[in-house]
Structure 1
Amino acid sequence: MSQFLHALTLVFVFLASTNIQITATTPPSYSRNHNMFVKTACNSTTYPDKCYKSLSSYSSTIKSDPIKLCTTALKLNVNSAKEAASVISKLLKKSQISAAGRKNKMSPEKPLILRDCLEEMKDTVVELKQAITEMKTLRDGDSVSEHITNVRTWVSAALTDEGTCTDGFEEIKVSKETKKKVTKVVEELATTTSNTLALITNLSY
């Protein structure tokens, strides 16, 4: 009998340790729910995979809060806009140095179009920050729909500025390398902004 109890105890210990391992490696249900909330919201955007990839790591902070979701997306959007501005700023400085070295042999159009594009990126940063500020007023209770409209307006303006930048490169001839670098970074930013706008458009609060 004692041997049977000893064997039974060993089995119980084994099962208990196995259960602990499973529990430790399986995420809590609320964590899965938060991830699902982000994934479902991203499915309504233009680029759902990109949306989920950028926001999923923040799901524990976002939880199931639509305002936190949109605010997080906006903050990441600001970072993307700053990165785009940095890339274009470096290209502008390089272009200005090159133009100065060639003196009057080079057309000033290249530095000019880069300068205009950089201004568009700076405007984008400002507009997205304004949208974040507007988001903070949504919990105040009054005129919620009006504040949401204002947020959409700021993000829409940012998206327009990004398009204006790349449109300029279609009108003025620049080097293929410069055009490729600017187009890549701005189009990447535009996909992020498009997703942010979609999340805000679908915001229900």
Structure 2
Amino acid sequence: MLRFVILSLTLVTLINSSNIPKTAATPPTTYQNYETFVKTACNSTTYPTMCYNSLSSYSSTIKADPIKLCTTSLSVNLKYAKNATLVVSNLLKNAKFTSSPEVPVLKDCVEEMKDTVDELKQAMAELKNLNGGGISKKEHLKNVNTWVSAALTDDTTCTDEFDEGEVNEETKKKVEKAVSELSKTTSNTLALITNYLRF
């Protein structure tokens, strides 16, 4: 009986000691793996910190799926576009009220922002319809790339006009802040699409 007890205690000790390295080497949780995927993806963009900050909270939705990664990035991108449109639209209303010479430039910028919103929506529709529409995935992806590239061009066109037109410094700062954040997000989205969606 004593031998049995000693043998049992020895086995328990061996089992416990063998578990120590396994516990120390336990892989990170699934969620952490998803966060790593997002971080790695964002490292391929022009503004990786901004990319990770805007997408990390969606890690459990994105998982390690490139399509979900790009769809989520487009969705976040669209929020920035709507915000920039709102900022410029409000400035335009104020300018009209005071008959400011800024009106033409702001009006053009609002149109550029609205075009950006529409183009990002088109890109999202293409991405959601990868297996339909009578065209190949490759053609859908080409269309996505075209729409996002066009959105980025519109962002730049807006700020370029502010450099050329008659605009007061305060208005210019507000527009540049909103549109700059949008441009960076659009640039990141385009990088993710280019690097992670290939058919």
Structure 2 CA distance, aligned partners of 1:200 and 1:125? Answer: 17
Per the alignment, residue 122 of structure 1 pairs with 114
Per the alignment, residue 29 of structure 1 pairs with 29
Residue type of the partner of 1:137? N
Residue type of the partner of 2:58? Y
Per the alignment, residue 180 of structure 1 pairs with 173
Rate the CA distance shift 1:171–1:138 in 2: closer, same or farther, 3 A.
same
Aligned length: 173
Superposition map of 1:41-80 within 5 A = 41-80=41-80
Deviation at 1:27, TM superposition (A): 10
Structure 1 CA distance, aligned partners of 2:64 and 2:36? Answer: 9
Q: Is the 8 A contact 2:141 2:197 kept in 1?
A: no
Residue type of the partner of 2:78? V
Instruction: Specify every segment of 5 or more residues in structure 2 that has no aligned partner in the other structure, as ranges.
Output: 1-25
Deviation at 1:92, TM superposition (A): 0.4
| TM-score when normalising by structure 1 | 0.80
Corresponding residue SS for 2:44: coil
Q: Does the alignment pair 1:146 with 2:139? A: yes
Rate the CA distance shift 1:112–1:27 in 2: closer, same or farther, 3 A.
farther
Deviation at 1:137, TM superposition (A): 2.0
| TM-score when normalising by structure 2 | 0.82
Structure 1 CA distance, aligned partners of 2:136 and 2:195? Answer: 17
Rate the CA distance shift 1:78–1:27 in 2: closer, same or farther, 3 A.
farther
Residue type of the partner of 1:187? S
Per the alignment, residue 83 of structure 1 pairs with 83
**Deviating 4+ runs (over 6 angstroms):** none
Per the alignment, residue 159 of structure 1 pairs with 152
Residue deviations 1:133-187 (CA, integer Å, cap 9, x gap): 0001224596212111110100000000010000001111210001111111101
Residue type of the partner of 1:162? D
| Alignment root-mean-square deviation, CA | 1.9
Percent of aligned positions that are identical: 62
1:110 to 99, 102, 110: 102
Deviation at 1:130, TM superposition (A): 0.2
Per the alignment, residue 4 of structure 1 pairs with none
Instruction: Specify every segment of 5 or more residues in structure 1 that has no aligned partner in the other structure, as ranges.
Output: 1-25, 100-105
Residue deviations 1:18-45 (CA, integer Å, cap 9, x gap): xxxxxxxx99621111001100100000
Residue type of the partner of 1:57? S
Residue type of the partner of 1:88? V
Structure 1 CA distance, aligned partners of 2:138 and 2:29? Answer: 33
Rate the CA distance shift 1:142–1:122 in 2: closer, same or farther, 3 A.
closer
Per the alignment, residue 201 of structure 1 pairs with 194
Structure 2 CA distance, aligned partners of 1:174 and 1:137? Answer: 42
